Amino acid sequence: MKSFSLLSPTLLYLHLLFMITLNLMWFCPNKIRAVAAIGKQTDHLALLKFKESITSDPYNTLESWNSSIHFCKWHGITCSPMHERVTELSLKRYQLHGSLSPHVCNLTFLETLDIGDNNFFGEIPQELGQLLHLQHLILTNNSFVGEIPTNLTYCSNLKLLYLNGNHLNGKIPIEIGSLKKLQAISVGNNHLTEGIPSFIGNLSCLTRLNLGENNFSGKIPQEICFLKHLTILGVSENNLSGKIPSCLYNISSLISLTVTQNHLHGSFPPNMFHTLPNIQIFAFAANQFSGPIPTSIANASALQILDLGNNMNLVGQVPSLRNLQDLSFLSLEVNNLGNNSTMDLEFLKYLTNCSKLYVLSISYNNFGGHLPNSIGNLSTELPELYMGGNMISGKIPAELGRLVGLILLTMESNCFEGIIPTNFGKFQKMQVLSLRENKLSGGIPPFIGNLSQLYYLELNHNMFQGSIPPSIGNCQNLQSLDLSHNKLRGTIPVEVLNLFSLSILLNLSHNSLSGSLPREVGMLKNIEALDVSENHLSGDIPREIGECTSLEYIHLQRNSFNGTIPSSLTFLKGLRYLDLSRNQLSGSIPDGMQNISVLEYLNVSFNMLEGEVPTNGVFGNATQIDLIGNKKLCGGISHLHLPPCPIKGRKHAKQHKFRLIAVLVSVVSFILILSFIITIYMMRKRNQKRSFDSPTIDQLAKVSYQELHVGTDGFSNRNMIGSGSFGSVYKGNIVSEDNVVAVKVLNLQKKGAHKSFIVECNALKNIRHRNLVKVLTCCSSTNYKGQEFKALVFEYMKNGSLEQWLHPETLNANPPTTLNLGHRLNIIIDVASALHYLHRECEQLILHCDLKPSNVLLDDDMVAHVSDFGIARLVSTISGTSNKNTSTIGVKGTVGYAPPEYGMGSEVSTCGDMYSFGILMLEMLTGRRPTDELFEDGQNLHNFVTISFPDNLIKILDPHLLPRAEEGAIEDGNHEIHIPTIEDCFVSLLRIALLCSLESPKERMNIVDVTRELTTIQKVFLAGS
């Protein structure tokens, strides 16, 4: 028993070993297959989790990632042929948006993970450290945040680590130093801090190191010199300081060395380029390096980019660069190179061998002497040449004109003299030309107009004479033009002002230009700054300047402008700076100037302005305005120390005593001559009646009362189609006319109705125009009751009045459709044409005095006809004096449409009709009456539009226009307008309406200008349609 018990464990062990061996013999292949299947399933699930984390896939890149296809065939996936396990996940440049799923760590065979140039966000998962086979990790140009994962230290096979172009912070983890197989590290363009770690020197296989565009500080560590295979080193745009380790210049394998935009200093070793035989890119710009450029640079024959600009401390002559035949970029700008000697520019002749040169910059140094003629032997393909800010003198060599490939040429701030060479006209590709601040003379050559690609031209601060060549108007791409500080004379060419492309600057200041500022200045709709100061310009400041809606800076000071400050300046909602000082401007400061919220400075000093100074906006800060030299200004804030404006009530109180005396004297005089006045009045009344009545009526063909009574079915209510201030209008048929007519029957019981009839006859008897209602006949008789009866018979307008179309909901009208923009534009032009005829083409000037939508009738073809001349005025000019045939009707017009000056007793005028026309236009474009209940507490239709003009038109336009705006270009809420032509049309029409409805009669547009501009708008609209 004892021996058995001792042997039993041994026997048991042998038995188990036998069973295990037998089991492996039978079942091992199945087990391996099972493990492999589990691995594949893991990869499949990991990829699905990766897809789940993607929130946006604009190109449907992952559309194939579904169960119908084996995952090894999914887009961007590569598997090993033997194990069918994922070895590469590459999805770069697909604009994928989402986070990087930590489940990617389950792809345990993964060697390459490349999701660069997408929109991944969040932190880089620490789980990536489980990818033990990972060799290439490329996460460039995404939005990853947080720190670089320390667990990457477990990826011992990692060769490429590209994390540049993200938002990573913190420092480079010390664990990275253990990745001995790393060949390339790129962590540029992040927010990494602290110093460049010295353990970088332990990565002996490293060939590429990019640490640029971070916040690294301190010195470049000496240990980098241990990287004997380094070809690319980039540490640009950091906060590095100190000197470059001299041993760095001994790494002969270096191809690219960039350290720009740091705080590095020191001088260059004389023989440094002997030990950098392969260097192609040497960029040391924007630091504080000093001393001369090493002469050994002549041996750097492979050099392609040499950037030493913006160090400010490099001195001496530029050494020979004759062997640098592959040089494409040379920047020596902003240093102290040269000695203002004739030898300074000798190095340029050696650049004639550099056929690949595309940028040459020697700007802002101490180079002197003449520009050598050999400059013309540079490559004709050279596009950019910078030579400004030196002391180069003499004439500009004509040979420079050979460089026909130039796109940019800057020669500013030198001592060049003479004329611009004529062969500069060959620069057909030229976009930027700067010759400012030299001593150039002669005229500005007309061939400038041949440079059709030019968008930036600086000729200021020279001694150019003569006039501005109109040919500059051919430079249709010009965005900035500066001709200031010369000796130019003559007028401003309208061709220059027609350059719609000007968007940055037009500066013609400090010359001797004369004449007026052309109204074409309104064409500069995109310009930000306009300066014509210190010339001899005169005349009014054109109101069209208010059309330059992008203007921010206006300088008109020190000229001889007169007239008033145009109210249209208040349309410039982006205006920041306005100087109108030292002119001869009069009148008041437009009240609307205080509503320009961004206006920071206003100078109107030394003019002849008067009236009250506003108190809001820029006028609320005395340091932002200058009003000195205008003795008649008053009011404003207390800090301006202006006299108070006179109060009308107080003034009247002082005059009360004198008026009382005058009244007493007048009463006595009045009693004595009262009978005489009454006699004269009665005589004039009889004469007026005779002159107004019979002759005028007799000139019109008349119809009998009976015929009208029959034709209108006894003037029945069912035939009434409207009513006016002095009667009703009926639809009818009369024997003498073939067509349906409109019969206007006057209510003679209403005061003034009889004279309304006479005035309308006078107004219509001799006028004929397609847009004026045509009077067919009249009736002056008695009705069946023996009462006096007067009526006018007009053409019948089938489509009723404009008011019925604009406001069908309030008039119970039901037109077949609403008016689209095309209809409204045509009607506006029709009404303007009628006004042009009345104001400019009739033998006697006719003022309508009551223009409104109900007085605009539409015929079968939707042509507009102006009607109802019941309160019109006929004005004839005899011997230079204005003689007005006035009706005795109190001429007030209609509330809302009548101009404000009529309410204050002013004479009627064409300006009054223009005001009514402006309000009519505003009503047509906004769909709101001037008497809308919205307009309370001093608000009115004009101000309502001004507040939103021109940037928020959606808030004011008639909603019926928006869906029909030809898929137009204003956007807000659910409505939008896409085509710029339509938006321009709205802006132009509203601008005309606002200018016509200005409070000041003198500043309103006249009908000639309105008609011309409307015709232009119609052409543009039809072309765009």
Q: Which residues are catalytic?
A: 850
Q: Are 170 and 150 spatial neighbours (Cβ–Cβ below 8 Å)?
A: no
**How would you write 244-285 as a 3-class SS string?**
CCHHHHHCCCCCEEECCCCEEEEECCCCHHHCCCCCCEEECC
Q: Shortest CA distance to 499 belongs to which of 467, 465, 524?
A: 524
Q: What span, in angstroms and rounded, lies between the C-alpha atoms of 806 and 784?
A: 39
How many other C-beta atoms are found inside a 10 Å radius of the C-beta of residue 738?
8
Distances (CA, A) of 342 to 318, 369, 667, 839: 13, 4, 98, 73
CB atoms within 10 A of CB 699: 12
DSSP string, 79-91: E-TTT--EEEEE-
Task: For 508-550, give the DSSP string.
Answer: --SS--EEE--GGGGG-TT-SEEE--SSEEEEEPPGGGGG-TT
Question: Which tokens sit at 241?
Answer: 């300081």
Rounded CA gap, 259 and 266, in Å?
13
Looking up tokens 């051919």 gives 474
CB 791 within 8 A of CB 900: no
Q: Which of 4, 82, 71 is nearest to 41 (CA)?
A: 71
180 is in an annotated binding site: no
Place of tokens 């460039």: 140
Extract the runs of DSSP E, i.e. beta strands, from 254-407.
256-258, 263-267, 281-283, 288-291, 305-307, 313-316, 329-331, 336-337, 359-361, 384-386, 393-395
Residue from 988, 641, 664, 634 nearest 829 by CA: 988
3-state secondary structure of 506: strand
Among residues 809, 785, 811, 788, which one has the least CA distance to residue 723? 811
Q: Would you call the peptide bond into 950 cis, given omega within 30 degrees of 0 as the criterion?
A: yes
From 609, 528, 517, select the one nearest 576 (Cα to Cα): 528
User: How far is it, in rounded angstroms, from Cα 874 to Cα 581?
Assistant: 43
411, 432 Cβ separation under 8 angstroms? no
Question: What are the strands of the beta sheet with 514-516, ordered from one edge?
Answer: 514-516, 536-540, 560-564, 584-587, 608-613, 632-635
Number of separate helices (H) and strands (E) present in the chain: 13, 59
User: Which residues have C-beta within 8 Å of that of residue 848, sequence separation ≥ 6?
Assistant: 835, 838, 855, 866, 869, 872, 913, 916
Residue 931: CB atoms within 10 Å: 13
Q: Which two tokens stand for residue 827?
A: 């009607």
Q: Supply the DSSP symbol for 1006.
A: P
* Cβ(341)–Cβ(311) below 8 Å: no
Residue 764 is encoded by which pair of tokens? 């219509």
Side chain identity at 418, as an amino acid letter? G
CA of 228: how far to CAs of 206, 301, 519, in Å?
8, 22, 71
The SS3 call for residue 187 is coil
Q: Which of 74, 72, 46 is nearest to 60 (CA)?
A: 74
DSSP string computed for 475-493 = -TT--EEE--SSEE-SPPP
Nearest one of 826, 823, 807, 827 to 815, comparing CA atoms = 807
**Beta strands of 126-235 (E only): which ranges?**
136-138, 143-146, 160-162, 167-170, 184-186, 191-192, 208-210, 217-218, 232-234
Local structure of 918: helix, strand or coil: helix
Binding-site residue positions for ATP: 744
Q: Which residues are annotated as a binding site?
A: 744
